[in-house]
Structure 1
Amino acid sequence: MDHLISPLSPTPPSNRWWSEKTTAVVTGANKGIGFAVVKRLLELGLTVVLTARNEENGSHAVDCLRRIGFRNVRFFCLDVSDPPSIATFVSWFRLNFGVLDILVNNAAVSFNEVGDNSIKKPETTIKTNYYGAKLLTEALLPLFSRSVSVSRILNISSRLGALNKLRNPSIRQTLEDESLTYEQIDATVNLFLDEVKSGNWEKQGWPENWADYAVSKMALNAYSRVLARHNDGKKLSVNCFCPGFTRTSMTGGQGTHTADEAAATVAKLVLLPPENLTSGKFYICSHQKKIISKL
């Protein structure tokens, strides 16, 4: 169950542990929350790699940042739904930086309009939102620096992926199991896709609203929890964050707060001092309050 904690101030902690040598990667960052996160981390003095699947849009985003004075920003074209693109990016990053400190998996797609309950292109949604984050994370794991501080992975998720959205008790029990495995998560996702194809997904108790998006984020949450468990004690923090109803293109410009406000909380979470870091948590940002719970 979620429980309230004191608000997470957007002001960074005074005991600053990072420097311009601290490197962060933010995916899907040519606009919206991703772009705002890059800008906020640059303001705080980090080096940031901005990635986007469209080279023109990504280059334009970096040019905009450089025009207002930010120099420690690089762009690389990355489509997280394409394994060869991930491999190319990781090779480039290893050659140019070698060590990674922070990964913000923000890249996501949704083919549902607000208020639309239909299923559209579920395979693409899950391939991007779940498998994209998973495959990129696994490819970058060997590059995380764990010698001095604690490396951080923050997966941008959604409360739509909460397990209480599942109406199928068997599937929910599987995902709630403390011994959940990666294989079980993949099997659950494949089951959903099979039932979408057969037209039985509604009868089988999957989320009623934005089902493909919800299942993709449900799987991402579960993956984050298992990854955190497997890296317990290894100087790697893995958490999820729901930015809430944010005004971006994905929401058609609707929302209760701006991308900059969401990004301030993202920066706060990934820059917490090592002694205050959590792992395996799900943070929810709602208007004027913050909630934290176990994944």
Structure 2
Amino acid sequence: MEGSFISSSEQRVAVVTGANKGIGLEICRQLASNGVIVILTARNEKRGAAAVDALREFGLSDVVFHQLDVRGPSSAARLADFVRDKFGKLDILVNNAAILGVMTVDIGGPEPAPIQEAVASEKFASMSAAERLEWLNQRITETYVEGEDCLRTNYGGTKNVTEALLPLLLASSNARVVNVSSSMGLLQLFSGEELKQEFNDIDKLSLERVDELSELFLEDFKNGQLNHRGWPVEKGPSAYIVSKALINAYTRVLAKKHTALRINCVNPGHVDTDGSFHTGELTVAEGARGPVTLALAPRGGPTGAYFDRTEEASFV
């Protein structure tokens, strides 16, 4: 379902990852509503194609699906070939694909219902956002397998896709890269001062070192030594927090290297989606506002910055 487009050189072209539902799908809708040609990507072809059909029912015809597994460099390369052949450039990249990196556990009875069923229950719907979050935190756990998958998907996937599409972004006269991050990626959640300083020292940080920090976390996680170096362990899933901190660091280093591009990261807020088990208080439209604002910002503006929704904020 790749479709064909006749686009003018002035018409912007965007790629959005993890876009078959939730914030990603809403980002596609808002971009397409603003006259942008959108390449909606997802790992599952059936769900991705259905998402495009749903947008076209709203009259948004300039949306096309392309299958993408962000963890696979070859999959990212195929996407780059498609964009190059169809458009010759890329103006907007929104790296949205991410996983929480946890597994759910059932508590509260000899035969408790699966967590998905509990989330859909009338009792869950009556809870406040804070109550839902507390309820969820009691029912999730994190193992090394989930943690590794989280880093390979969130940070590794962002890097795979960005590197594959970088030549096409550089071919644009006003390219934007928007990396969807989280308030959970802020360095205040780290207890190790040396780690915080290293993540925050943009003058010394390199792409190679960001990769090394990713592997160092996984090594410490595997060996049960997260506390030794001061990785985050008390404020949520460690791997998810670190994956978002790595994305923030990667954003800053890449922006420093490619000054012609506007490369920023953004916390969309706590959004009511499947990924948050519907514990968020914001709608997907509200959550998409920050990424879309950065993607459509006028020429110039900040780069290498972190935004809390639509306001620039501190990485710490």
TM (normalized to structure 2)?
Answer: 0.81
Counterpart in the other structure of 2:41: 51
Return the alpha-carbon distance in structure 1 between the equivalents of residues 289 and 186 of structure 2: 23
Counterpart of 2:253 (choices 217, 221, 226) is: 226
Counterpart in the other structure of 1:7: none
Residue ranges of structure 2 left out of the alignment (5+ in a row): 1-7, 105-135
Counterpart of 2:287 (choices 251, 262, 284) is: 262
CA contact (8 A) 1:20 1:47 kept: no
Q: Which amino acid aligns with 1:45?
A: G
Return the alpha-carbon distance in structure 2 between the equivalents of residues 50 and 204 of structure 1: 39
Alignment of 1:96-111 (within 5 A): 96-111=86-101
Residue ranges of structure 1 left out of the alignment (5+ in a row): 1-17
Counterpart in the other structure of 2:198: 174
Larger radius of gyration: 2
Counterpart in the other structure of 1:115: 137
**After superposition, what is the alpha-carbon deviation per residue over 1:266-294, rounded to whole angstroms, capped at 9, x for unaligned?**
2222111114x210110012xxxx54125
Counterpart in the other structure of 1:161: 185
Return the alpha-carbon distance in structure 2 between the equivalents of residues 252 and 19 of structure 1: 41
Identity across aligned pairs (percent)? 40
Counterpart in the other structure of 2:117: none
Return the alpha-carbon distance in structure 2 between the equivalents of residues 111 and 294 of structure 1: 25
Q: Helix, strand or coil for the counterpart of 2:161?
A: helix
Alignment of 1:62-77 (within 5 A): 62-77=52-67
Structure 1 residue 64 displacement after superposition: 0.8
**After superposition, what is the alpha-carbon deviation per residue over 1:35-59, rounded to whole angstroms, capped at 9, x for unaligned?**
0000011111111000000001000
CA contact (8 A) 1:20 1:72 kept: no
Q: Which amino acid aligns with 1:186?
A: D
**Moved runs in structure 1, 4+ residues, more than 4 A?**
none
Return the alpha-carbon distance in structure 1 between the equivalents of residues 186 and 25 of structure 2: 26
CA contact (8 A) 2:90 2:172 kept: no
Q: Which amino acid aligns with 1:53?
A: R
Q: Which amino acid aligns with 1:27?
A: T
Q: Helix, strand or coil for the counterpart of 1:249?
A: coil
Return the alpha-carbon distance in structure 1 between the equivalents of residues 163 and 258 of structure 2: 12
CA contact (8 A) 1:157 1:240 kept: yes
Q: Which amino acid aligns with 2:302?
A: T
Counterpart in the other structure of 2:150: 125
Q: Helix, strand or coil for the counterpart of 1:250?
A: coil
CA contact (8 A) 1:19 1:45 kept: no
User: Which range moves more in the overlay, 266-275 or 69-78?
Assistant: 266-275
Counterpart in the other structure of 1:41: 31
**After superposition, what is the alpha-carbon deviation per residue over 1:155-204, rounded to whole angstroms, capped at 9, x for unaligned?**
00011111111111222221121221111111111111011111111343
Q: Which amino acid aligns with 1:22?
A: R
CA contact (8 A) 1:20 1:46 kept: no
Return the alpha-carbon distance in structure 1 between the equivalents of residues 265 and 297 of structure 2: 14
Ranked by relative contact order (alpha carbons within 8 Å, sequence separation 6 or more), the top structure is: 1
Q: Which amino acid aligns with 1:210?
A: P
Counterpart in the other structure of 1:194: 219
Counterpart of 2:85 (choices 85, 89, 95) is: 95
Q: Which amino acid aligns with 1:133?
A: T
Counterpart in the other structure of 2:21: 31
Q: Helix, strand or coil for the counterpart of 2:40?
A: strand
TM (normalized to structure 1)?
Answer: 0.87
- Give the 3 Å change call, closer, same or farther, for CA 147–269 of structure 1 in structure 2: closer
User: Which range moves more in the overlay, 255-264 or 113-122?
Assistant: 113-122
**What RMSD, in angstroms, separates the aligned Cα atoms of the two structures?**
1.8
